[in-house]
């Protein structure tokens, strides 16, 4: 009879983060963060636990909080059990969340790991001595921080702009997890349904491809005509915006922009349409505007973050996760695949190491809000591929 060990989902995830496990083993010897505190504001879920424990293995003190509405209680519990300071818990209240971010900055971290620019932007309100720099995870954060380079003036490496993050996470993994989340949350069919994807950047390409793979008819709306042409040549229909909206059974926004879908679109929407946002901020679909519109007679809240707006003319509009990122919502949210996050978080660990050890460009402006250095991308790609072919060639 064999021993049976009961383990958690977080244990499963950590076991599968092969790159982070290898970096952890190395960091235990090299200790690049000894004496340094890292402040983090990133989705707290199972994969992030693996990242934060890797940084801890490198000697870092950590002060961590999540992003708005994506903090998972089991991740917080696991981190606290490991002695890591976690500020706050799950919240949809942006005021409460701002308080958590303020507490992270009050610890005056030497390095910041940011997601969406929340920490770096607030740092500028109350700057302190000693911030070395850090990393920013997303497109949305880069867009926010770029105009502030003149004030930030320290190395901030943008993980999103690594080609590895672009294709491994944004394209392949966001596409898969958007489809997985749609099926898990709604249990509705995709076959033969008309799905409209707003935004055909890296994430939108993956979302469109995955829904097409699930036998949906997919149309793409993008404000950039060159990108629309790309979608057309990739075989998607690219009708004018309002026609795409009016014909959709499902609309997914993934643009990084605000007010992509608003109450002004209500007259166009089909009965039974599902609206979902996979972009970082819950501002792509104006959920409050839709809910409070004159056309809405009543609302029906279901379990699992499903809200139906019943319009005065009898049409129903279903909103997933009230416009928050739906691939981190609903029952048992899994987020992006472990391997994609292992790649992205290995980039995080190596970039934070580079800033901590001052091995990025010495000119602070030359390394402020810039992509991951190419040698880090190459090293991570080699490590991942080496793991796939561990046998030496004969
Ligand atoms: N859900 C997740 O797990 C996840 C993961 C990574 C990134 N993101 C987020 O997804 C969003 C998109 O990221 P990306 O890397 O694809 O960005 P991107 O910049 O590569 O692409 C965005 C696309 O949207 C288009 N666009 C902008 N405004 C538009 C509008 N009003 N209507 C239609 N199209 C519009 C742009 O022209 C561009 O082609 C960002 O907010 C990013 O932070 C989410």
Residue 393: pLDDT band with limits 50, 70, 90: low
What SS3 state is found at 284? coil
- Nearest C-alpha neighbor of 193 from the set 215, 177, 221, 220: 215
- Residue range 102-122: mean pLDDT, rounded: 96
Q: Residue 192 — very low, low, confident or very high, per pLDDT cuts 50/70/90?
A: very high
Residue % of the chain over a pLDDT of 70: 99
**Per-residue pLDDT, 364:** 79
Q: Can you give the pLDDT at residue 392?
A: 59
Least confident of 111-115, 177-181, 250-254, 358-362: 358-362
pLDDT computed for residue 78 by the predictor: 92
Q: What is the DSSP string of 298-312?
A: EEEEETTTEEEEEET
Is the distance from the beta carbon of residue 199 to the nearest atom of ligand 1 less than 6 Å? Answer: yes
pLDDT score of 129 more than 60: yes
> Is the pLDDT at 133 greater than 80, yes or no?
yes
pLDDT in tens, 263-306: 999 999 999 999 999 998 899 999 999 999 999 999 999 999 99
- Whether ligand 1 lies within 6 angstroms of the CB of 282 is answered as no
Q: For atom 12 of ligand 1, which residue has the closest CA?
A: 255
CA of 275 to the centre of ligand 1 (A): 16
Which atom of ligand 1 is found nearest the CA of 200?
A: 39
Residue 363: what pLDDT?
82
Task: Report which of 253, 291, 250 is spatially closest to residue 272, judged by C-alpha positions.
Answer: 250
Question: Average pLDDT in the 124-144 region?
Answer: 94
Evaluate if residue 184 carries a pLDDT over 80. Answer: yes
Chain mean pLDDT for the chain: 94
Q: Which atom of ligand 1 is nearest to the CA of 177?
A: 3
b/e 73-104 (16+ beta carbons within 10 angstroms → b): eebbebbeeeebbbbbeebeeeeebeebbeeb
pLDDT in tens, 299-333: 999 999 999 999 999 999 999 999 999 998 888 88
Best residue for ligand 1 mutational test, from 175, 254, 281, 343 (most atoms within 8 Å of Cβ): 254
Instruction: State the pLDDT at residue 144.
Output: 95
Q: Determine whether the shortest distance from the Cβ of 159 to ligand 1 is under 6 A.
A: no
* Mean pLDDT across 142-168: 96
Mean pLDDT of 386-393: 74
- Contact assessment for residue 39 and residue 105, using Cβ atoms and an 8 Å cutoff: yes
Q: Are 51 and 20 in contact (CB under 8 A)?
A: yes
CA angle in degrees (0–180, nearest 5) for 30-33-34: 80
């Amino acid at each position: 009879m064999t021993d049976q060990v009961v383990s958690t989902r977080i244990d499963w995830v950590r076991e599968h983060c092969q790159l982070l496990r290898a970096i952890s083993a190395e960091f235990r010897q090299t200790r690049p963060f000894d004496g340094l505190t890292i402040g983090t504001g990133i989705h707290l879920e199972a994969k992030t636990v693996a990242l934060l424990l890797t940084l801890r293995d490198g000697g870092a003190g950590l002060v961590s909080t999540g992003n708005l509405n994506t903090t998972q209680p089991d991740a917080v519990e696991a981190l606290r059990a490991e002695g890591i300071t976690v500020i706050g818990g799950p919240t949809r209240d942006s005021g409460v969340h701002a308080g958590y971010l303020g507490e992270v900055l009050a610890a005056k971290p030497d390095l910041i790991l940011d997601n969406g620019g929340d920490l770096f932007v607030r740092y500028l309100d109350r700057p302190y001595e000693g911030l070395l720099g850090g990393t920013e995870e997303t497109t949305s954060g880069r867009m926010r921080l770029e105009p502030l380079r003149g004030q930030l003036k320290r190395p901030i490496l943008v993980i999103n702009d690594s080609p590895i993050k672009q294709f491994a996470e944004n394209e392949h993994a966001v596409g898969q997890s958007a489809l997985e989340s749609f099926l898990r949350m709604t249990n509705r069919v995709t076959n033969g349904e008309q799905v409209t994807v707003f935004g055909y950047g890296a994430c939108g390409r993956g979302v469109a491809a995955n829904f097409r793979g699930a036998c949906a008819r997919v149309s793409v709306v993008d404000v950039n005509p060159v990108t629309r042409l790309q979608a057309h040549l990739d075989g998607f229909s690219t009708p004018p915006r309002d026609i795409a909206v009016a014909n959709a059974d499902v609309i997914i926004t993934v643009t990084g922009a605000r007010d992509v879908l608003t109450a002004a679109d209500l007259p166009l929407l089909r009965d039974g349409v599902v609206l979902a946002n996979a972009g970082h901020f819950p501002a792509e679909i104006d959920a409050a505007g839709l809910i409070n519109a004159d056309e809405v007679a009543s609302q029906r809240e279901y379990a699992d973050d499903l809200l139906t707006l019943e319009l005065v003319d009898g049409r129903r509009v279903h909103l997933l996760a009230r416009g928050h990122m739906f691939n981190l919502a609903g029952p048992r949210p899994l987020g992006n695949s472990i391997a994609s996050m292992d790649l992205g978080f290995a980039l995080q660990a190596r970039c934070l190491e580079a800033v901590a050890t001052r091995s990025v460009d010495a000119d602070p402006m030359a390394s402020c809000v810039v992509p991951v250095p190419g040698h880090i991308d190459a090293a991570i790609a080699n490590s991942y591929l080496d793991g796939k072919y561990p046998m030496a060639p004969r």
